[in-house]
Amino acid sequence: MTIELPDLPYAKEALAPYVSAQTLEFHHDKHHAAYVTNTNKFIAGTELADKSLEEIVRAAAAAPDKKALFNNAGQVWNHNFLWKSMTPNGGGKPSGEIAERIEQDFKGYDAFAEAFSAAAVGQFGSGWAWLVLDGESLKIVGTANADTPLVHGKVPLLTCDVWEHAYYLDYQNRRPDYVKTFLAHLVNWDFANANLAAK
């Protein structure tokens, strides 16, 4: 099956002023689209050509000779997940089961936000910060480049992209400001709750 570039779940202007339409245009229409194009090139004519994206990511992660495929397919999967991790009028403290689990596992939202920010800001170079379900506990993990909790036995609940292309046009080198804004105004807690319920 051909891997396709999904539409954004909101208009490009919908996350402004926190993420600009220009950033989403470059991030989705250029970067994400290039990962999709490259993934399709790598799988063409192979045993992975008819597999789902998740199956491709898992297979590539397990094969040392498929690093280039993993780098692209992993980025497609991560970006598909990222767009749903953000929403207009999002951010702030969560509600529902995710709020209860954050209280239980992090001893409160403020401690969670501090730990999530530390993981995102402290990620050296390019990568991601994730809230995941690891067994029965919520945890925060960072992954470098195209790596994803999907291939490490964890259930992703939400993510923040800290590759520079995710924020540089709006925040330049001020990653801490971008991460703070992500938590305050962009996080889609409904998506995290849905992922938790579907585990």
Q: What is the pLDDT of residues 35-86, one digit of tens each?
A: 999 999 999 999 999 999 999 999 999 999 999 999 999 999 999 999 999 9
Give me the DSSP letters along 70-115: HHHHHHHHHHHHHHHHB-TT--SS--SHHHHHHHHHHSSHHHHHHH
| Block residue for tokens 């992090």 | 106
Residue 197 has pLDDT above 90, yes or no: yes
Q: What pLDDT sits at residue 199?
A: 79
Cβ-in-10-Å burial (0-12, 13-18, 19+) of 182 comes to buried
Q: Where are the alpha helices (DSSP H) in the chain?
A: 21-26, 33-43, 53-61, 67-85, 97-106, 109-122, 168-171, 175-181, 189-197
Choices 1.20.58.410, 3.30.365.10, 2.60.40.10, 1.10.287.990: CATH for 21-85: 1.10.287.990
Residue 182 has pLDDT above 80, yes or no: yes
- 167 contacts: CB under 8 Å, gap ≥ 6: 19, 23, 175, 178
Q: What pLDDT sits at residue 37?
A: 98
Q: What pLDDT sits at residue 143?
A: 98
Residue-wise pLDDT for 143-171, tens only, equals 999 999 999 999 999 999 999 999 999 99
Strands 127-134 and 155-161, by their bridges, are: antiparallel
Say if pTM beats, i.e. exceeds, 0.85: yes
Q: Determine contact, residues 93/192, Cβ cutoff 8 Å.
A: no
97-197 is classed in which CATH architecture? 3-Layer(bab) Sandwich (3.55)
CATH 3.55.40.20 domain position(s) in the chain: 97-197
CATH 1.10.287.990 domain position(s) in the chain: 21-85
Tokens of 17: 């002023």
Tokens of 100: 């209860």
- Gap between the terminal Cα atoms of the chain: 26
Predicted confidence band of residue 122 (pLDDT cuts 50, 70, 90): very high
Residue 1 has pLDDT above 90, yes or no: no
Calculate the dihedral angle through the C-alpha atoms of 102, 10, 152, 34, rounding to the nearest 10 degrees: -150
Residue 24 has pLDDT above 80, yes or no: yes
Tokens of 128: 């991601």
CA atoms within 13 A on the CB side of 40: 10
Residue 140 has pLDDT above 80, yes or no: yes
